[in-house]
Amino acid sequence: MWRFAIKMLFGDSAKFYGILLGLGFASLLIAQQASIFVGLMSRTFAFIGEVGHVDLWVFDPTQSYVDEPKPLRATALERVRGVTGVEWAAPLYKGLLVATLPDGSRQVCDVIGIDDDTLAGGPAEIVAGSLADLRQPDAVMVEVGSSQQQLRFPEALPPGAVPAPGQSFDPKGPKRPVEVGDIIELNERRARVVGLVKCAETFVAAPTVYTVYSRAITYAPPSRRVMSAVLVTAVEGQDPDALAERIRAETGLAALKPHDYSMRTLGYWMSETGIPINFGIAIALGFFVGVAIAGQMFYNFTLDNLRYFGAFKAMGASTWKLLGMVALQALVAGVLGLGLGLGAVSAFGLNAAGGKLAFKMLWQIPLIAAGAVLVICILASVLSMWKVIRLDPADVFKSS
């Protein structure tokens, strides 16, 4: 009878496609919104991963997340270096500064200043130039994506050329990407582009500009506290957790492993913003849309077939057999609907890969979508099963 159950499901094409679309749309909405949510949240701590291998981040204990640097005194670096178990400690600057372009337009940039000596904390991928070029006078490296979008130069100005005295450009005129050799101003100080880099998308939409620490603090407004964090590597064999505890005790600063700092940052965004609620609503909406559309369609499908189930019951099919048929129909519809939805989400994800859209489908997300679709199918089939259980086989003799 299982084969007949499947044929009954596929045979009523209007309802079958309705059920499929309902379940597909529900799983699409659930998986897509969850993936965008995960992608977006991953960006909140993407910079921590971008910095590369360090054992500990040391920062102001009142700092909640990585993009909210609360500057430390310059002495913090030496104090951290003095803690037993620290192999090396490097300063890091991270701050939003205004860049001025030759056409007079201004753009807020996320300026990262990395250790002059070790260049630790630099970008993972360099598209043009080399990291050592940052040691040249006024050198900066610019994120390649922003060089094509936000930091655009007048087309009339050749790469590396300096505007002649009195020469001006129309800010709305034709533009070209920033290239190696171009000159910009950072906080009214000269900065020469020596390379292009690729960075992970972060929560801060501003273009990322890399330079060395000593130069970054000259771009930053004068202050006694300019250092955003200290990056620490432990001596070999040193337990990072124990070292973090020691740094906290001896310096009064916060010290966390990169993963823990990422979770602290994530926790801030999760608890202090409305993002989870908004995405949660979208995901719940997907679930309820699935229940409403697919559930109702499936229930109507069963109602339409009730007289045939009644005939089967009269002919000797047990109630369990009929319930099995309904469950199988729900399961098949669920699996196909889920496949449809996840397929669409995967296509969406592939299309979005490498773009600005935050999208990250963890392996747990298809499982969550599958669980949601299962619940939808159970809810839909329970109502249908109830009708089948209550079905009186003698009803088949009633004319309809």
Partner 1 sequence: MATATPTTSGAPTPAHATAIRLRGVTKTFGRGESAVTALRGIDLDIPAGELTMLVGPSGCGKTTLISILAGLLSRDGGDLAVFGTDLATLRRDRLAAWRRDNVGFIFQQFNLVPQLSVSENVSVPLVLKGESVGAAVRRADELLATLGLEGRGKSSPLKLSGGQQQRVAIARALIHDPRLLVCDEPTSALDAELGRRVMELIRGRSTRPDRAVVVVTHDDRIFHLADTIAHVNDGRIDQLTRRTSEPPTAGSHR
* Nearer residue to partner 1 within complex by CB, 16 or 37: 16
Q: Does 356 bind partner 1 (CB under 8 A)?
A: no
Category of 152 on φ-ψ map: left (φ > 0), alpha (ψ -120 to 50) or beta:
beta
| Closest C-alpha among 73, 74, 87, 95 to residue 118 | 87
Candidate residues 98, 131, 311, 335; the one interacting with partner 1 per rule CB under 8 A? 311
Q: Does 7 bind partner 1 (CB under 8 A)?
A: yes
**Rounded to whole angstroms, how far apart are CA atoms 57 and 256?**
5
Nearest distance in Å: CB 35, partner 1: 37
How far does Cα 272 stand from its chain's mean position? 17
Dihedral sign of CA atoms 349, 355, 360, 363 in order: positive
Q: Does 145 bind partner 1 (CB under 8 A)?
A: no
Pick the stretch among 94-102, 123-131, 300-308, 382-390 that binds partner 1 (CB under 8 A). Answer: 300-308
Taking CA atoms, 121 is separated from 52, 96, 165, 230, in Å, by 6, 17, 38, 10
List beta partners, residue 72: 227
DSSP 8-class letter at 221:
P
- Burial code (b: 16+ CB inside 10 Å, e: under 16) for 138-176 equals bbbbbbbbbbeebbbbbebbeeeeeeeeeeebeeeeebb
Q: Does 315 bind partner 1 (CB under 8 A)?
A: yes
Which alpha helices (H) appear in the chain, and where do they start and end? Answer: 2-11, 13-44, 46-50, 75-81, 144-149, 213-219, 240-251, 258-272, 275-290, 296-314, 319-352, 364-390
* Nearer residue to partner 1 within complex by CB, 1 or 277: 1
Q: Does 363 bind partner 1 (CB under 8 A)?
A: no
Task: Fill in the per-residue mask, 248 to 287: x = in contact with partner 1 (CB under 8 A), - = not in contact.
Answer: ----------------------------------------
Nearest distance in Å: CB 262, partner 1: 54
Nearest distance in Å: CB 398, partner 1: 7
Candidate residues 45, 93, 312, 348; the one interacting with partner 1 per rule CB under 8 A? 312
> Are the beta carbons of 302 and 387 closer than 8 angstroms?
yes
> Are the beta carbons of 230 and 248 closer than 8 angstroms?
no
Q: Does 307 bind partner 1 (CB under 8 A)?
A: yes
Nearest distance in Å: CB 301, partner 1: 11
Q: Which amino acid is at 314?
A: A
* Nearer residue to partner 1 within complex by CB, 12 or 260: 12
Nearest distance in Å: CB 9, partner 1: 8
How far does Cα 202 stand from its chain's mean position? 9
Q: Decide the pairing of beta strands 175-177 and 152-154.
A: antiparallel
Nearest distance in Å: CB 318, partner 1: 5
Q: Does 4 bind partner 1 (CB under 8 A)?
A: yes
Nearest distance in Å: CB 312, partner 1: 7
Candidate residues 221, 237, 316, 354; the one interacting with partner 1 per rule CB under 8 A? 316
Nearest distance in Å: CB 336, partner 1: 16
**Rounded to whole angstroms, how far apart are CA atoms 88 and 254?**
17
Residues 8-47 that bind partner 1 (CB under 8 A): 8-12
Taking CA atoms, 130 is separated from 89, 139, 321, 398, in Å, by 23, 11, 71, 86
Candidate residues 282, 314, 352, 375; the one interacting with partner 1 per rule CB under 8 A? 314
Q: Does 310 bind partner 1 (CB under 8 A)?
A: yes
> Are the beta carbons of 311 and 400 closer than 8 angstroms?
no
Number of residues lying near partner 1 (CB under 8 A): 31
* Nearer residue to partner 1 within complex by CB, 8 or 183: 8
Task: Fill in the per-residue mask, 379 to 398: x = in contact with partner 1 (CB under 8 A), - = not in contact.
Answer: -------------xxx-xxx
Pick the stretch among 1-9, 44-52, 133-141, 258-266 that binds partner 1 (CB under 8 A). Answer: 1-9
Q: Does 300 bind partner 1 (CB under 8 A)?
A: no
Dihedral sign of CA atoms 168, 172, 178, 179 in order: negative
* Nearer residue to partner 1 within complex by CB, 331 or 396: 396
Pick the stretch among 6-14, 34-42, 104-112, 284-292 that binds partner 1 (CB under 8 A). Answer: 6-14
- The residues that touch partner 1, with contacts defined as CB under 8 A, are 1, 3-4, 7-12, 305, 307-308, 310-319, 321, 392-394, 396-400
